[in-house]
Copies of this chain bind each other. A is one copy, B any other.
Amino acid sequence: MDTTEDSLRKALAEKQSAVEGQGNAVRALKAAKVAKAEIDAAIGTLNALKLEKSAIEQQLQAAVSGNGPDSSVNREAFRQAVVNTLERRLFYIPSFKIYRGVAGLYDYGPPGCAVKSNVLAFWRQHFVLEESMLEVDCPCVTPEVVLKASGHVDKFTDLMVKDEKTGTCYRADHLLKDFCNEKLQKDLSITAEKAAELKHVLAVLDDLPTEELGAKIKEYGIVAPDTKNPLSDPYPFNLMFQTSIGPSGLLPGYMRPETAQGIFVNFKDLYYYNGNKLPFAAAQIGQAFTNEISPRQGLLRVREFTLAEIEHFVDPEDKSHPKYPEVADLEFLMFPRDKQMSGQSAKRIRLGEAVSKERLRFRQHLANEMAHYAADCWDAEIECSYGWIECVGIADRSAYDLRAHSEKSGVPLVAHEKFSEPIEMEKLVIAPVKRELGLAFKGNQKMVVEALEAMNEKEAMEMKASLETKGEVEFYVCTLEKNVCIKKNMVTISKEKKKEYQRVFTPSVIEPSFGIGRIIYCLFEHSFYMRPSKAGDEQLNVFRFPPVVAPIKCTVFPLVQNQQYEEVAKVISRSLTAAGISHKIDITGTSIGKRYARTDELGVPFAITVDSTSSVTIRERDSKDQIRVNVEEAASVVKSVTDGQRTWDDVWSKFPHHSSGSTGLNFGQQKNTIHCDSHILAS
């Protein structure tokens, strides 16, 4: 709870009652027909109180909706600027736009598609290749049996309410969230206690059981936002897209809600592929599908998305990772469950250099918020204009999935650890005496034998004790649904020492699951800024993408429309292609300033401008600094800075500088760190 806001609400309530009190006083004076001067004085006091109240209201309004640079108004304006640029430059496009689109489905247009493909290539290099993960690629269409075993058929749901008259569907938690936020931001008359209650509801929203959610909706009188009709009670809606495999209509299937299941069902083969050794990680990049009830938040909540998932298969008794010591000292913003429930904010638990990001934090899931398969879950959240957004879900799935698939398929999904030498272990031995059991139970003998053999150690040892003291014991047989009487001669129970050569166990799974679309959207927002044009008459948009993810690494412009310059541009283009650098030639007659602005708005880090047939300039997007290089070298210089072999500062210090408006050489006029590379001068 924000203490400023809290004290303002209290001050407002006091001032309100002061106003009411003074109002009553004025009315009393009027009724008593006292002297006008006295009445006027009382009205003066009333008006002063009203002014004070109004001032507090303004402060409160500012406190709840914000006026600062991080206020919700400014956040929305910023988001609108980003989204307008993204849509206009076709980073993304609402899918099937000419048919008025489908909520929650988006296309990546050419630059967005290039960014995505760069992000995925980087991800694959960073995780799959550098950590030798086993990458697999499984279909999206998945038969029901797999998702029944994984629990998705029964539990992959969101709570939905329906407009009782029109049947329109809403996500129950979204309606409650909107109500609380609206009330907190727009209704200044609520008490500090009420505000605290609403904030608590928001904090525990993801944790509310169905009945409590329904009760809150009723209590607050929430109705359908479009029609104001009453709403149904919340009920679970399964979020998987259902389909049918094959022509018979008898094999139901779903579009996978995560890529992970494809990895789990292959565990046995992957374990074998890894030389029957733990730990190992398997990874998959691919589409996943969630039939959201009412998608909103643009690219963040969509019905189809690219996941990049890793499943670390580990020994449950040793979950250490060989690289852990390398990162153990890094520190992050952490937001554990207890801090959230008590309305506190995220804590920086330690602070390292490399990954210290103000806008990245790790938040623990609340108990009811976790997916059905998770033993613990932390989200890596990135802050953007929508608030803190889950971009990577990191779940400890323990042995949940492998056990579920083992049971359903009958194929053991286990790992083996050979002991360096055999270990002597006590082992329970239950030996039913079939002859006696047959005489006693006839046709039911088999069921009784199975039930006896299925006893765990505790049950068996209790039976042994009872048989030894009493000679017989009542025993419940599930499959017969009744008790039978087991006598001492029907079973022998003992503990024997046995040599064990190996340990057999179900591995635990630690899963980091990356929502690629969300990461890309946050990248868009974090990379976006505006700066004034040269003439100062307009604001220009820039995406400061690092070269590794920039959709195009370089543009090539002939300074003016001119056959010779265009030839040079083509030569440079060919050498860029040979070097594998994605680029674009722009030979339109538009002014060079406009062309730079266009390319900045696409986030292209470098522009080569052809202003002579022997040398050209290379401009860096954010500093707008330009260097001069000879034509033959242009591609290799751009390659070296986009590949990360050297920084812009490196090349800036090695090549002659160019200031726009001049084609001459300018050494050392714009920056301090100048070092002339002799072979340039010699060329």
Task: Show the binding face of A for B, using Cβ within 8 Å.
Answer: 90, 93, 95-99, 102-103, 105-110, 112-114, 116-117, 121, 124-125, 129-130, 132, 134-143, 145-146, 160, 167-169, 237, 241-248, 251, 253, 255, 262, 265-266, 268-270, 273, 275, 286-287, 289, 291-294, 303-304, 405, 408-409, 411, 413, 577, 580, 582, 584, 588
> How many angstroms from the CA of A110 to the CA of B135 in the assembled complex?
5
Q: Is the CB of A580 within 8 A of B125?
A: yes
In the bound complex, how far is the Cα of B169 from the Cα of A269, in angstroms?
A: 32
- Residue pair A584, B241 in contact (C-beta under 8 Å): no
Q: Of all chain B residues, which has the CB nearest A143?
A: B102
In the bound complex, do residue B269 and residue A139 qualify as a contact, i.e. CB atoms below 8 Å apart? no
Q: 8 other contacts beyond A110-B136, A246-B292, A247-B294, with CB at 8 A cut-off?
A: A90-B270, A93-B269, A96-B265, A107-B266, A110-B134, A130-B577, A141-B303, A246-B293
Q: Are A247 and B160 in contact (CB under 8 A)?
A: yes
Which residue in B108, B146, B253, B275 is a CB contact (below 8 Å) of A137?
Answer: B108
CA distance A136 to B94 in the complex (A): 12
Q: Chain B nearest CB: distance from A323 CB in Å?
A: 13
Question: In whole Å, how far is A143's beta carbon from the nearest beta carbon of chain B?
Answer: 5
Q: Is the CB of A98 within 8 A of B137?
A: no
* A304 in complex: contacting residue of B140, B247, B304, B409, CB < 8 Å: B140
- One complex includes copies of this chain to the number of 2
Most buried by B among A93, A275, A294: A93
List, in ascending order, chain B residues with CB within 8 A of A140's CB.
140, 255, 287, 289, 304
Measured between C-beta atoms, what is the minimum distance from A138 to chain B in Å?
4
Q: Which of B105, B113, B138 contacts A139 (CB 8 A)?
A: B105
Residue in chain B with minimal CB distance to A114: B135
7 smallest CB-CB distances across A and B, nearest first, come from A108-B137, A98-B409, A98-B411, A169-B247, A139-B304, A107-B138, A110-B134
Q: How far is the CA of A102 from the CA of B125 in the complex (A)?
A: 32
Residues of chain B within 8 A of A113, CB atoms compared: 135-137
Tell me if A's interface is mostly helix, strand, loop or mixed: mixed
With a CB–CB cut-off of 8 A, which chain B residues contact A273? 90, 109-110
A117 to B120: give the CA distance in the assembly, Å: 11
Q: Collect the chain B residues with CB atoms within 8 Å of residue A588's CB.
A: 275
Asked whether, in the complex, the Cβ of B243 is within 8 Å of the Cβ of A255, the reply is yes
A108 CB contacts on chain B under 8 angstroms: 136-138
Cα A316 to Cα B247 in complex, Å, equals 39
Taking a contact as CB atoms under 8 Å apart, the answer to whether A90 and B139 are in contact is no
In the complex, what distance in Å separates the CA atom of A39 from the CA atom of B139? 72
A96 contact set on B, CB distance < 8 A: 142-143, 145-146, 265
Partner of A247, one of B246, B270, B291, B577: B291
In the complex, are the beta carbons of B129 and A99 less than 8 A apart? no
* Bound CA span A241–B253, Å: 10
**B246 with A291: CB separation less than 8 A:** yes
Q: Knowing A136-B107, A141-B303, A409-B99 are in contact, say whether A243-B243 is a contact too (CB < 8 A).
A: yes
Q: Is the CB of B98 within 8 A of A268?
A: yes
Given the known interface contacts A124-B117, A129-B582, the answer about A103 and B139 at a Cβ–Cβ threshold of 8 Å is no
User: Which residue of B is nearest A284, CB measured?
Assistant: B113
By beta carbon, the residue of chain B nearest A261 is B96
Name the residue in A130, A167, A247 with the highest tally of chain B Cβ atoms < 10 Å from its Cβ: A247
**How far is it, in angstroms, between the C-alpha of A226 and the C-alpha of B478 when the chains are bound?**
41
Measured in the bound complex, the distance between the Cα atoms of B135 and A287 in whole Å is 17
Q: Are A116 and B137 in contact (CB under 8 A)?
A: yes
Question: Which of A130, A255, A588: most chain B Cβ within 10 A?
Answer: A255
Give, as a whole number of angstroms, the nearest-CB distance from A51 to chain B.
Answer: 51
Q: How far is the CA of A293 from the CA of B275 in the complex (A)?
A: 38
Q: Which of A95, A137, A294 is most buried by chain B, counting CB atoms within 10 A of its CB?
A: A137
| Contact residues in B for A110 (Cβ distance below 8 Å) | 134-136, 270, 273
Q: Which of B102, B107, B142 is close to A251, meaning CB atoms less than 8 Å apart?
A: B102
Closest chain B CB from A166 CB (angstroms): 10
How far apart are the CA atoms of A251 and B136 in the complex, in Å? 33
A139 proximity list for chain B (CB < 8 A): 95, 105-107, 303-304
**B141 A304 Cβ-Cβ under 8 A:** yes
* Nearest CB on B from A98, distance (A): 4
**Given the complex of chains A and B, what is the CA–CA distance between A627 and B29 in angstroms?**
110
- Asked whether B303 lies within 8 Å of A269 as measured between CB atoms, the reply is no
A-B contact pairs, 12 of them (CB 8 A): A96-B142, A96-B146, A98-B409, A98-B411, A108-B136, A110-B273, A116-B137, A140-B287, A167-B248, A169-B248, A246-B291, A286-B287
CB distance from A596 to the nearest CB of B (A): 17
Interchain CA distance A98-B90 in the complex, whole Å: 43
Min Cβ gap A168→B in Å is: 8
- Closest Cβ of chain B to A481, distance in Å, is 29
Indicate which residue in B98, B268, B303 contacts A245 across the interface (CB closer than 8 Å): B303
Name which of A99, A291, A292 has the most chain B CB atoms within 10 A of its CB. Answer: A99
| CA–CA, A134 and B143, complex, Å | 35
Residue of B nearest to A101 (CB): B143
Contacts of A102 in B (CB 8 A): 141, 143, 245, 251, 253
> In the bound complex, how far is the Cα of B139 from the Cα of A219, in angstroms?
40
